[in-house]
């Protein structure tokens, strides 16, 4: 399904961006549990939240996202202000989209949103909001 590919690419890019930009952000390194809740206007029912675990460190910028395909995606803007990271991601090709994200780190937790404007061949133009929350759950193994 095309929307799943879009979301997988987006989450891979999100985690990559977040781990690359944490040098000056209040991030306690370790194993994190990250939850994403997708909201899409017009959906007959709410999608269930998804969760994954990842080791976040200031040196490790390699995300652990299965099925990541971000060949056509580029981060065009990136800004760190205090403990908040904002960015714009643009993807071209079959699953063209633009995403604007904002994550704020609070030591052992994070919160944020990603707003996506996507063109799906089957569903047309879509607007999707992903609400993200995360918490440190222990040390990396």
Q: Where are the domains of the chain?
A: 2-138
pLDDT score at 7: 55
Distance between CA atoms of 76 and 18, rounded to whole angstroms?
14
Which residues of the chain register pLDDT less than 70?
A: 1-23, 58-71, 95
pLDDT score at 51: 92
pLDDT score at 139: 95
pLDDT score at 61: 31
Distance between CA atoms of 136 and 108, rounded to whole angstroms?
5
pLDDT score at 65: 35
pLDDT score at 63: 36
Per DSSP, 48 falls in state P
Q: Are 35 and 135 in contact, with CB atoms under 8 Å apart?
A: no
Q: What is the pTM of this model?
A: 0.71
Distance between CA atoms of 100 and 79, rounded to whole angstroms?
12
pLDDT score at 68: 38
For residue 8, the surrounding DSSP H or E stretch is helix 2-20
């Amino acid at each position: 399904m095309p929307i799943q590919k879009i979301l997988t690419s987006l989450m891979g890019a999100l985690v990559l961006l977040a781990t690359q930009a944490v040098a000056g952000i209040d991030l306690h390194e370790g194993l994190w549990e990250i939850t994403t809740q997708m909201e899409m206007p017009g959906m007959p029912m709410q999608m269930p939240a998804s969760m994954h675990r990842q080791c976040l460190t200031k040196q490790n910028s390699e995300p652990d996202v299965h099925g990541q395909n971000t060949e056509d995606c580029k981060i065009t803007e990136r800004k760190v202000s205090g403990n908040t990271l904002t960015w714009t991601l643009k993807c071209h090709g079959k699953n063209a989209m633009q995403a604007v994200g904002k994550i704020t780190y609070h030591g052992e937790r994070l919160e944020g949103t990603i707003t996506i404007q996507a063109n799906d061949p089957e569903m047309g133009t879509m607007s999707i909001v992903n609400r993200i929350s995360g918490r440190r759950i222990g040390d990396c193994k």
